[in-house]
Chain A
Amino acid sequence: MSEKVSITINGNVYAVDKELTVLQTAKSANINIPTLCYLKDINEIGACRMCLVEVEGMRTLQAACVFPIREGMVVYTSSPRVREARRMNLELILSNHERSCFKCTKKSL
């Protein structure tokens, strides 16, 4: 049994394993954080910046998929600042993208 730490996400307190990241903690608590480049155990580099969350005490937004949790951490996954940043980020990624995937039959929209 590994050590438990308490972490506050969007105002609710959760007690979870110490080794988890913010993204894994949020998943276990049924909080959805969008991801693009994250692939469990294979690609965990925090590059696409879609999973940005606001962590109290940090100057900038942090990538949830690589951010380790610690005791007493306060995280907001859906604050206006986070949503605005994600929207802008997706816009930037799409601006660099072949738009043909909008027409693709495999898209699950």
Chain B
Amino acid sequence: MDCSLLEDDPHSVIEAMSIAAYATNSQYGYVYVRAEYPMGIHRLVIAIEQAREYGLLGNQILGTTFNFDLEIRYGAGAFVCGEETALLNSVEGKRGEPRPRPPYPAEKGLFQKSTLLNNVETYGNIAQIILYGADWYKGMGTKRSSGTKVFALGGKINNVGLLEVPMEITLKEIIYDIGGGIPDNKKFKAVQTGGPSGCCIPESLLDVSVEYDELIKIGSMMGSGGLIVMDEDNCMIDIAKFYLDFTVDESCGKCSPCMIGTKRLHQILEKITKGKGTKEVLTTLHDLSIAIKDMSMCGLGQTAPDPMLSTLHYFRDEYLAHIEVHHCPVGVCKELLEYTIIADKCKGYMLCSRHCPVGAIKGAIKQPHIIELEECIKCWRCVSKCKFNSIVLNKATLKGIHNE
């Protein structure tokens, strides 16, 4: 969404940065943009040149003694560089790793000088607030979270895209009114807020309004403003694993809890999705997550276990299903699925048994075949080979699993 602001209205950012520089009496500013946003960068470069031509950047702006100029610094797309101290390191040309705080950027920031660091979206609001006044801005949203927020709506939803809403709006309104609900009349399962380190919010909490405090209260966060909707076909452990996979990749590797801890969490989840988890593992997951959150140096590690923690909290029965009966309720975790051959549909062509790498499909020609589950390595090559769709998913019923 910051990229869309840079693409559509780069002048507002330049103007706001000049105002911020005037307020803090600084003379030089940097815009840190990922190099993966070529369109945003291209338009920002043009906008900066135009601003210089009109005398809105450079020396003696608008005939005053105030000087201010801007420079663009390209990021190589590291997630950790969203953390302010890692961003400062990256701008300085060092490795994108966070620094210990304190000293905070306001005391010792870029090149050891006091630095004002704000998000593009924050700057996007400044010119409007100065133009229309603070009361106009406070009129939108709630008392503690005034103004509007841009969300990026994605996932299993009809209307995908960016939306700007006042912060009093509830998640339900965003998903069902603006987002147009879930495609194919499927059932809503969860919505993940705040990017890869946010939390998965279940249906029971959909009436929560999207303000900073309310989201933090339920253990989530506003973060980057990403909203990813999941429907009944999503396995929450698979989702948690997906997000952890991302944080394992993006962890900078400086401090040990984040570097090693996220990897261990990922390994445990991997075990669960393969049906090798035990009930004690859930306690380990919880304790380890809490420890990582407490020990990590920067925001990445402190929030990395959140998607996993929230799914563990709100969707515990799914974890138990994977662990106790080795069953994935929605049929996503491949290793836990069992396929059977419907005898009526099977014509006995032996195509499946010929392609089975371990010879787990038994049966004579023109006789219904059987899959030997002990031998099956679950590659499901047979499913794609069968021309009669006779090999189907065996959805076992979930019995005796309670939400503890």
Interface on A for B, CB 8 Å cutoff? 45-49, 52, 60-61, 63, 66-68, 81, 84-85, 88-89, 92-93, 95-96
- CA–CA, A92 and B305, complex, Å: 15
Q: Write out the residue numbers on chain B whose beta carbons fall within 8 Å of the beta carbon of A95.
A: 260, 264
* Structural contact, B297 and A49, CB atoms closer than 8 A: yes
- CA–CA, A16 and B264, complex, Å: 41
Q: How many B residues are at the interface, by size bracket?
A: 20 to 34
Report the nearest A residue to B103, measured CB to CB: A68
* Structural contact, B295 and A60, CB atoms closer than 8 A: yes
Q: Is B294 an interface residue (CB 8 A)?
A: yes
* Structural contact, A61 and B295, CB atoms closer than 8 A: yes
Q: Write out the residue numbers on chain B whose beta carbons fall within 8 Å of the beta carbon of A81.
A: 294
- CA–CA, A48 and B261, complex, Å: 12
Q: Is B100 an interface residue (CB 8 A)?
A: yes
Query: Using a CB-CB cutoff of 8 Å, which residues 275-306 of chain B contact chain A?
Result: 287-288, 291, 293-297, 302
User: Least Cβ distance of B264 to chain A in Å?
Assistant: 7
* Structural contact, A60 and B260, CB atoms closer than 8 A: no
Query: Using a CB-CB cutoff of 8 Å, which residues 243-258 of chain B contact chain A?
Result: 254-257
Q: Write out the residue numbers on chain A whose beta carbons fall within 8 Å of the beta carbon of B293.
A: 60
Q: Write out the residue numbers on chain B whose beta carbons fall within 8 Å of the beta carbon of A63.
A: 100, 297
One digit per residue, 1 when the CB lies within 8 angstroms of any chain A CB and 0 when it does not, for chain B 42-64 equals 00000000000000000000000
* Structural contact, B295 and A52, CB atoms closer than 8 A: yes
Q: Write out the residue numbers on chain A whose beta carbons fall within 8 Å of the beta carbon of B257.
A: 49, 88-89, 92
- CA–CA, A67 and B295, complex, Å: 14
- CA–CA, A66 and B102, complex, Å: 8
- CA–CA, A47 and B100, complex, Å: 9
Q: Write out the residue numbers on chain A whose beta carbons fall within 8 Å of the beta carbon of B288.
A: 88
What are 19 A-B residue pairs whose CB atoms fall within 8 Å in the complex?
A: A46-B255, A46-B297, A47-B256, A49-B256, A49-B296, A49-B297, A61-B294, A61-B295, A63-B297, A68-B103, A85-B291, A85-B294, A85-B295, A88-B287, A89-B256, A92-B264, A95-B264, A96-B256, A96-B263
Q: Write out the residue numbers on chain A whose beta carbons fall within 8 Å of the beta carbon of B263.
A: 96
User: Least Cβ distance of A65 to chain B in Å?
Assistant: 9
User: Least Cβ distance of A81 to chain B in Å?
Assistant: 7
- CA–CA, A85 and B261, complex, Å: 12
Using known A-B contacts A49-B297, A68-B103, A88-B288, determine if residue A60 contacts B302 with beta carbons closer than 8 Å. yes
Using known A-B contacts A92-B261, A95-B264, determine if residue A47 contacts B297 with beta carbons closer than 8 Å. yes
- CA–CA, A79 and B297, complex, Å: 19
One digit per residue, 1 when the CB lies within 8 angstroms of any chain A CB and 0 when it does not, for chain B 217-256 equals 0000000000000000000000000000000000000111
